Amino acid sequence: MADYILEMKNITKLYPGVKALDNVNLKVERGEIHALVGENGAGKSTLMNVLSGTIPYGEYTGDIVYNGEVCQFHNIHDSEDKKIVIIHQELALIPEMTIAENMFLGNERKNRFGKINWNEAYKQADENMKKVGLKEQSSMLIKDIGTGKQQLVEIAKALSKDVKLLILDEPTSQLDPEGTESIFKRKRFQDASGHAFKIQRRGNDGDHHYPQIERSCLCC
């Protein structure tokens, strides 16, 4: 019997004058990789925004079943609580903050007195960066590393949350060839629980490369 980590059933999303999603169904087995391929405006990102809670429950119709439970995500924090993480093509990093500050922004490491434990934060950030093949110090400012490495910081940030379902929204769309190579040259990652997490080139369509990831993952 199939072990589905995710089922999206009859998802419909309407914008004024436009039906962006029309009874879309999607099933993902645990450990599977899916690449959503389509023209601009086909609804790929919209579907992923529904899944992540970026488009909240109530603004679409249909059901999201995650780990056998019907879920109603009202915001992105709801989905992250379920270990679902989306990495948008527009990176959510603050240039003037350090890598570690970005990695734990909103999820700060605190001591028993409720104060941020920066020593622990930088230590954990360095460990997460090693998992994705980054050798930079987590005390570096985000603006001082290239866009390709910033993508890897986003993946390291997801791993720090013990991600179970990772969504990559056009991960190479804004990268030059060097930046794209910096993402894919590191073939194997490891998450916080030690599970294998591998990215490799799977094929291409023009200038777009579709990655394959050895975990439950959706790429669009």
pLDDT tens-digit profile of 91-105?
Answer: 789 999 999 999 888
User: How far is it, in rounded angstroms, from Cα 9 to Cα 23?
Assistant: 7
* Among the listed residues 158, 188, 183, the one whose alpha carbon sits nearest the alpha carbon of residue 173: 183
Mean of per-residue pLDDT scores for the chain: 79
Chain CA centroid to CA 60, Å: 21
Please provide the size of the chain in residues. 220
pLDDT-based confidence at residue 114 (cuts at 50, 70, 90): confident
* H-helix segments, 66-117: 76-81, 99-103
Asked if residue 176 has pLDDT above 90, the reply is no
Main-chain phi, psi angles of 31, to 5 degrees: 90, -5
Q: What is the percentage of the chain residues whose pLDDT exceeds 90?
A: 37
Asked if residue 185 has pLDDT above 70, the reply is no
User: How far is it, in rounded angstroms, from Cα 12 to Cα 23?
Assistant: 5
* Tens of pLDDT, residues 7-35: 999 999 999 999 999 999 999 888 777 77
Helices (H) and strands (E) in the chain, counts: 6, 11
pLDDT computed for residue 188 by the predictor: 47
User: What domains does the chain contain, in order, with CATH numbers?
Assistant: 4-219 (3.40.50.300)
The pair of three-digit structure tokens given for residue 151, joined into one six-digit string: 């993508």
pTM above 0.75, yes or no: no
